[in-house]
Structure 1
């Protein structure tokens, strides 16, 4: 479904991503992990179209998308969330979803919006101001709801569990499993929590200083000496 080949991103003299390449298959849930500053969000920005790579190729459903604008990628089936929720100000929750739907799916489908509101447990908040009347958990659900409104086949989730306490995190993991099954989505999730990655993902990729240093099952990558060293500064003896 998604393939990256030798993707490199530079910001001036800083190499943010270096020769990154991997595949994501239909329905796969892939964990993307690494220390702060490893390049995870830059990678999401590159896939979704906010950042253009210096070199390499990005293919989605076998088509090169590396030079397509954001809206064109969304309309092909790429949806994403942001680490810091970004509700559209002065719009209700429902209106946020409608704007996202028209941006990504090019249609306004109120029935689909109602379904997403129900699935994401936001139906009771549909007419609230999205920017001022939602708690953190609700804002995070809204981020996912907006992405779902674009009718994605691949969902990029950037630290959607950050800031949640343990019980809320477990409920959110269960919700993500429900969405994966209901909508047959492929998912790439950026997350620091090892338990979350191990629970959700069949595979994990680790970035460090913009380079891929591991690719395998969560159990394999979290035992990898290079991964241990990237987090602790010292490999296991």
Structure 2
């Protein structure tokens, strides 16, 4: 579904993503790991259209995305969340979903919104001010709900579990696993928690200094000597 071919992003003299070749399918959950500054979020930004690659190709369902604007990528089926929740101020939870859905699909589907509110546990908070009246776990759920309302085929989840305590992380992990199956959505997730990645993901890709240094199952990747040195800071 998603194909990256030698994807490269440079900012002046800094190479943030260095010739990464990677695929992500609709039938899998793919984890993206690496230390801070490894290029993970920049890769997401290139795929979603927030930054323009310096080189390489991005294809989604065989379509070339390099020149596609943000709204076209969303309408092709790429959904995106951000590590820091970004609700629209002065709007209710449901209104946030309406805005996201209109941007991502060009229409408003009340049934889909109701389904997503129920699935993410936000139905009882639909009329609340999203920016002022939600707890952190609810804001994280809202990020997922906004993306899910756009009928995605691939979800890019940028540290959606960051800042949550262990039990909340596990609830979200189970929700993401259910989401993957129920809505037939491929997931590419950035996450630092090795246990969560190991349980949730079919494959794991590790980045360091913008380069792809390992790709395989979680067990294979987290045993890789280069990953041990760069990601965990230990020795093999």
TM-score with structure 2 setting the length: 0.98
CA-CA distance at 1:71 after TM superposition: 0.4
Change beyond 3 A, Cα 1:225–1:78: same
Task: Summarize deviations over 1:180-233 as a string: whole Å, max 9, x none.
Answer: 111011000000000000000010000000000000000000000000010344
Q: How many residues were matched structurally? A: 236
In the alignment, which residue of structure 1 is the partner of 2:90? 90
Task: Summarize deviations over 1:91-138 as a string: whole Å, max 9, x none.
Answer: 100000000000001111111111110111000000100000000000
In the alignment, which residue of structure 1 is the partner of 2:161? 161
In the alignment, which residue of structure 2 is the partner of 1:190? 190
Partner Cα separation in structure 2 for residue 205 and residue 27 of structure 1? 16
Quote the RMSD (CA, aligned, Å).
Answer: 0.8
Task: Summarize deviations over 1:41-87 as a string: whole Å, max 9, x none.
Answer: 00000000001100000000001011111100000000010000000
Secondary structure of the residue aligned to 1:89 is coil
Secondary structure of the residue aligned to 2:235 is coil
Moved more, 227-236 or 171-180: 227-236
In the alignment, which residue of structure 1 is the partner of 2:37? 37
- Match runs of 1:214-229 below 5 Å: 214-229=214-229
Partner Cα separation in structure 2 for residue 177 and residue 234 of structure 1? 30
CA-CA distance at 1:25 after TM superposition: 1.5
Secondary structure of the residue aligned to 1:100 is helix
Secondary structure of the residue aligned to 1:171 is helix
Moved more, 218-227 or 108-117: 108-117
In the alignment, which residue of structure 2 is the partner of 1:14? 14
Task: Summarize deviations over 1:8-63 as a string: whole Å, max 9, x none.
Answer: 10111111011001111222100000001100000000000001100000000001
List alignment gaps of at least 5 residues for structure 1: none
In the alignment, which residue of structure 2 is the partner of 1:175? 175
CA-CA distance at 1:235 after TM superposition: 3.2
Change beyond 3 A, Cα 1:110–1:230: same
In the alignment, which residue of structure 2 is the partner of 1:99? 99
In the alignment, which residue of structure 1 is the partner of 2:204? 204
In the alignment, which residue of structure 2 is the partner of 1:131? 131
Partner Cα separation in structure 1 for residue 123 and residue 234 of structure 2? 48
List alignment gaps of at least 5 residues for structure 2: none
Task: Summarize deviations over 1:129-172 as a string: whole Å, max 9, x none.
Answer: 00000000000000000000111000000001111111111111
Change beyond 3 A, Cα 1:114–1:54: same
Partner Cα separation in structure 1 for residue 225 and residue 234 of structure 2? 9
Partner Cα separation in structure 2 for residue 20 and residue 78 of structure 1? 19
